[in-house]
Amino acid sequence: MPSYLTTNISAAVGGAAAIDIQPAAGQAYCITEILADAVFANDVPDVQMAIRDGVLADAVVVIDPNTAMQKNRPKELYITNANYCRLTNTAVGAQNLGWCGYQVPVGIVMTDIFTAPNGGFVNVQPPAGEVWKLTELGAETLNATNMPDLTLYLTDGVLVLSMLSDGARNLVWDKAWNLYLTNDLFLRMEPIAGADNDVGLSMIRVAVEPFGAIATIGAGADLDIQPADGRECVVTQVSAEIWAGAAAAGSPDMFVALYNGAVLSDIMEDGAVSDSIIHNRQYEILIDNDVYIRITEGGGVNNQIAYSGYTRRYYNA
Q: What is the pLDDT of residues 105-155, one digit of tens each?
A: 999 999 999 999 999 999 999 999 999 999 999 889 888 777 788 999 999
Q: pLDDT tens digit string along 280-300? A: 778 899 999 999 999 999 889
**Average pLDDT score over the chain:** 90
Q: Indicate whether 1 pLDDT > 70.
A: no
pLDDT at 102: 97
Q: Which residues are paired to 77 by β-bridges?
A: 31
Strand-pair partners of 303 = 217
pLDDT at position 274 over 90: no
Whole-angstrom CA distances from 62 to 76, 85, 88, 140, 265 are 11, 10, 12, 9, 35
Quick one: 238 exposed, middle or buried, by C-beta within 10 A (0-12, 13-18, 19+)?
Answer: buried
CATH code, 213-314: 2.60.120
Comparing CA positions, the residue from 51, 85, 90, 43 lying closest to residue 67 is: 43
The one-letter amino acid code at 52 reads R
Q: What is the pLDDT of residue 271?
A: 75
Helix and strand totals (H; E) in the chain: 0, 26
Highest-pLDDT range among 17-26, 56-65, 171-180? 17-26
Percent of the chain with pLDDT over 70: 91
pLDDT of residue 275: 64
Cα 291 from Cα 282, distance rounded (Å): 21
Q: What is the pLDDT of residue 148?
A: 86
Q: What is the pLDDT of residue 42?
A: 76
pTM of the model: 0.94
Report the distance separating Cα 30 and Cα 78, nearest Å.
4
pLDDT value of position 55: 82
The 10s digit of each residue's pLDDT in 247-269 is 666 788 899 999 999 999 998 88
Task: Give the lowest-confidence range in 225-229, 234-238, 241-245, 272-276.
Answer: 272-276
pLDDT at 145: 74
Helix (H, G, I), strand (E, B) or coil at 173: helix
From CA 248, how far away is CA 271, in angstroms rounded? 12
Tell me how far apart the alpha carbons of residues 124 and 302 are, in angstroms, rounded to a whole number: 26
3-state class percentages of the chain: helix first, strand second, coil last, to nearest 5: 5, 50, 45
Domain borders along the chain are: 8-205, 213-314
- Residue 315's CB: how many other CB atoms inside 10 A? 10
Phi, psi of 279 (to 5 degrees): -65, -20
Dump pLDDT digits (tens) for 184-234: 999 999 999 889 999 999 999 999 999 999 999 999 999 999 999 999 999
Question: Region 72-82: what's the mean pLDDT?
Answer: 88
CA–CA separation, 199 and 149 (whole Å): 10
> What gap in Å lies between CA 161 and CA 295, rounded to an integer?
17
178, 133 contact by CB (below 8 A): yes
Find the range with the poorest average confidence among 62-66, 97-101, 279-283: 279-283
**DSSP state, 109?**
B
